Structure 1
């Protein structure tokens, strides 16, 4: 295992975060703080408690997941797409660095950035709403697995994309609707039966629901099912990345 190669890739990607601190850290934290102010304080004061939890507290896990998914996909996709765009990917592929080492470097950095911002948002939430974490170990498990899984998804998007329009296609047109319709701001039990059934086909529902259960012990889906789905999705992403590297899909041409 080439630890120096993984460290170099990881540190290079993390250094890019330091150079764009306002965009990478400050901007998502400020945006989420506005959600807390508008939805948690202004609107939340006019909404009844949801399953015994105030509305502002209820949406906190969803807001953290919203930021985590968006940032991990964005960082994971841009991290591998930029070397493709500049042509430096060929130097990396011709060097004595294996696929797992490249993967750990890029995906590890993307996940780290998402976890840092997510942790800051969690800390910020305490200034606006009452937050309780009943199952901290499970919360960390959901937190880390989600960051790694969606950083991998971003990595796949970065390899698949051939231009900047494709690079932003899935993060801007697919992920936000799935996130907003995945129970971030409401419980699916508040929906009509038909839409409750439809919501169960949304993978983001399981992430948000499991993550919320680790906070308050309430969820729309069994948390262990949510955990199993995250692990299964992670496995699918790993298989797909392995195929891309093995065949050279959009990497060697």
Structure 2
């Protein structure tokens, strides 16, 4: 006797066969957020950089610690104080958040670009993920790497004598650290969409990220600059991230003369990140330089 039961049918414990009802062609199976797909891509990106953690987490910590050693030896002699603390304590928070931002950019700027060059970009575009879910997973993985680098940097800088990383305002440390990481992750994602070879990505790193990082007040307070350069510094978003993050540790900042100025900067960074995220989402949705 031939079994005429369709393999797609369901059979109840009582032996009653019920037909399985599939949605019509073109009707989506996932109606809201594909949480499983988002989690899978996020974990894939995290595992990618974690497999080479010596290069992606610990090496940046050692390199940034060398910055601390060099500038402390060169500029911190004679008990020099900045914002009421010794120079090593002043410069350490800026170096931590600078390392976080640079590694957030490095992580998010790699995925699409490597896919283009290796011909595996379809692995990102074919799965049933919306543009928002794709962006959220890639940015989330980059922020995860930034946080791990920040923790490694904190551990490394505590080894240097004279550094005090006592936290005075935890909300500022968390908020400005995350805002800076998200901003650079979005910039890295936009760079990977635009770039067609690694030279393009390196150009953004060398001519945009590095100058903005080094001229953001990491090693000095902008009050020491001329009024013209102070005005230029205040147009640099990196300045607000680094000064706000430093405020979380020191309780003082060169953003303004009051804590209200720091709070306004925190709100402003949140608005800038929201607008930038929307812009990157629109570029991603358009398929520019991703979909032939």
Q: TM-score, normalised on structure 1?
A: 0.93
Aligned match for 1:153, one of 171, 187, 211: 187
Equivalent residue number for residue 238 of structure 1: 277
Q: Which has the higher contact order (CA 8 A, sep 6+)?
A: 1
Distance, in Å, in 2 between the alignment partners of 1:212 and 1:130 is: 12
- Indicate yes or no: 2:223 matched with 1:184: no
Residues 40, 57 of structure 1: 8 Å contact kept:
no
Contact 1:71-1:114 at 8 Å conserved across structures: yes
Counterpart secondary structure, 1:201:
coil
**Residue in structure 1 matched with residue 201 of structure 2 by the alignment:** 167
- Bigger Rg, structure 1 or 2: 2
Aligned mates of 1:246, 1:162 — CA distance in 2: 18
Aligned residue for 2:89?
57
Q: 2: distance between equivalents of 1:91 and 1:21? A: 23
2:135 paired residue number: 103
**Deviates further, 157-166 or 88-97:** 88-97
How does the TM-score come out when normalised to structure 2? 0.82
Q: Output aligned runs, 1:196-215, within 5 Å.
A: 196-215=230-249
| CA deviation string 1:47-72 (max 9, x = no partner) | 62112111000001110122112111
Which secondary structure does the structure 1 equivalent of 2:85 belong to?
coil
Q: CA deviation at 1:233?
A: 2.2
Q: Are residue 194 (structure 1) and residue 228 (structure 2) matched?
A: yes
Q: Distance in 1 between matches of 2:239 and 2:218?
A: 8
Higher helix share: 1
* 1:105-120 correspondence runs (5 A): 105-120=137-152
Gaps of 5+ in 2: 1-32, 256-260
In structure 1, stretches of 5+ residues that fail to align are none
Give how far 1:123 is off. Answer: 2.4
Do the aligned partners of 2:105 and 2:184 also contact (CA within 8 Å) in 1? yes
- Cα separation, 2, equivalents of 1:124 and 1:21: 15
Q: Distance in 1 between matches of 2:240 and 2:285?
A: 31
Which residue is equivalent to 2:114?
82
- Check whether the contact 2:100–2:149 (CA below 8 A) recurs between aligned residues: yes
Please state if 1:228 is matched with 2:282. Answer: no
> Per-residue displacement from partner, 1:188-239 (whole Å, max 9, x unpaired)?
0111222212211222111111111111121111212321232122122212
Change (3 A) 1:83 1:157: same
Q: Distance in 1 between matches of 2:244 and 2:238?
A: 10
Contact 2:170/2:248 (8 A) holds in 1:
yes
Aligned to 1:139: 173
The runs of at least 4 aligned residues of structure 1 exceeding 3 Å deviation read none
> Aligned-pair RMSD on alpha carbons?
1.6
CA distance in 2, matches of 1:145, 1:192: 28
8 Å CA contact 2:179–2:241 kept in 1: the answer is: no
